[in-house]
Amino acid sequence: MALETTDFLDIDDLTPAELDRVLERASAMKAGEDAAQLPNQTLAMIFEKPSTRTRVSFETGLTDLGGHAMFLGPDDIQLGHGEPLRDTARVLGRYTDGVMARLFDHEDVEILAEYADCPVINGLTDQAHPCQTLADLLTIREHAGEDVRVAWVGDGNNVGQSFVVGAAMAGIDVTVATPAEYAMDEAIFDRAADFGADPTVTTDPAAAVADADVVYTDVWISMGQEDERERKLAAFDGFQVNEELLAGSDAAVMHCLPAHRGEEITNAVLESERALAWDQAENRLHAQKALLVELLE
C-alpha cells in the first residue's frame, strides 16, 4: 500500500499509521528482516548546508538498496541563482527518481516539491527536520518503549518542532522547556493538538526534566546564527544538560548532533552510558532507508 503523500516535507505529511509503518519497516531493515531493494533508482541530494549524517546516511542507504545517490552542493548547480528554483526542480524531476534537499528556507523545499515530478524529501530546513524525527522515534522505541515521557530542553528550533509533532503522532508525552524568547511557534502545538496531544510548555528546565524518561537537547546556535552567539548564550543560561540538571534522574539523553560540548550539553553527559546520540545517528540510516522504500518502491 502506497503512502498518501508523494513528498516528505515535515513529519505530519505522514498519517500516524504511515509513521508507524515506516518505523516498523526501519526496525525490520535494521534487524535484517526486510530486504527491500530500489535497483537503479537515483536520488538527487541538494545541499545548501554542510552535513555529515544527512549526506552519509542517505548516500549509504540508497547504495545499500541498490540505487545511486548524487551529491549536489552549492557550487554544483545553480540553486535559485543562475535559474529559477522551479526550473531546477522540473529538470531534476525528469532526470531522477527522487530529490532530497537540505536547505535554509522551507519555502524552497516546497517549491521543489511543487515543480519536481518525483518525490521530494526534506533533509533539513530552518523550519523542520522530519528525517531526524524518524530516527528519534525509532531510538525511543528501542530504548524506552511506547509509554514514555520526553523533555525537550533548549532552543525551540527546527529539530524540536518536528519532534514535538512526531511525538504527538506516536502518542509520546512531551514537555518543552525553552527560554521565553526562543520558544516554539504556537502553530507547532496546534499541530500536536490535531493528534490529541497537549505538550506541557515551561521556561523551567529542572521542572521539565524531573519526571522525564528521556531528555532531548540540540545546539543553541545553529548554522547561520553565529552573529547571535553571545545573546543566545546569555539567554540559555541554566538550560545546559549537565550532571547537575540530571541529578536524581535516570533519564536517557538524546542529541541529534553535531554537539557543541560545553554549551547545550557537557562532555561528561554526552560520553556517559545514558547518552543515545550514537544510536540516533545510526538510526538515521535505517529510518531513511525505510522512508526511501515507502516513497520510491
255 catalytically annotated: no
- What whole-number distance in Å separates Cα of residue 110 and Cα of residue 238? 37
Residue tagged active-site, from 136, 218, 286, 288: 218
The reply, when asked if residue 122 is annotated as ligand binding, is no
Q: State the pairing for strand pair 214-217/149-153.
A: parallel
Active site residue 132: yes
Q: Please, which residues have CB within 8 angstroms of residue 165's CB and are 6 or more apart in sequence?
A: 10, 11, 12, 133, 188, 191, 192, 195
Asked whether residue 129 is marked as a ligand-binding residue, the answer is yes
Residue 273, class by beta-carbon neighbours within 10 Å (0-12 exposed, 13-18 middle, 19+ buried)?
exposed
Q: Is 102 a catalytic residue?
A: yes
Report which of 37, 66, 33, 72 is spatially closest to residue 51, judged by C-alpha positions. 72
Does residue 284 have a known ligand-binding role? yes
Find out whether 25 is annotated in a ligand binding site. no
- Ligand-binding annotation for 57, yes or no, is no
Q: Which of 132, 161, 280, 288 is catalytic?
A: 132
Q: Which of 256, 280, 286, 288 is catalytic?
A: 256
Pairing of strands 120-124, 42-47: unpaired
- Among candidate residues 55, 102, 141, 255, the one labeled active-site is 102
52 appears as a binding residue in the annotation: yes
Q: Is the peptide bond before 74 cis (omega within 30 degrees of 0)?
A: no
Residue 218 annotated as binding site: yes
- Between CA 293 and CA 288 the distance in angstroms is 8
> Is 10 among the annotated ligand-binding positions?
no
51 is in an annotated binding site: yes
Any known ligand binding at 75?
Answer: no
Q: Do the bridges between strand 214-217 and strand 42-47 make them parallel or antiparallel, or are there none, so unpaired?
A: unpaired
Q: Is 218 a catalytic residue?
A: yes
Q: Which residue in the list 55, 141, 284, 286 is annotated as catalytic? A: 284
258 is in an annotated binding site: no
Instruction: With beta carbons less than 8 A apart as the criterion, state whether 127 and 106 touch.
Output: yes
- What residue numbers does the annotated binding site for carbamoyl phosphate cover? 51-54, 78, 102, 129-132, 256-257, 284
Catalytic residues: 102, 129, 132, 218, 256, 284
- What residue numbers does the annotated binding site for L-ornithine cover? 158, 218, 222-223
- What residue numbers does the annotated binding site cover? 51-54, 78, 102, 129-132, 158, 218, 222-223, 256-257, 284
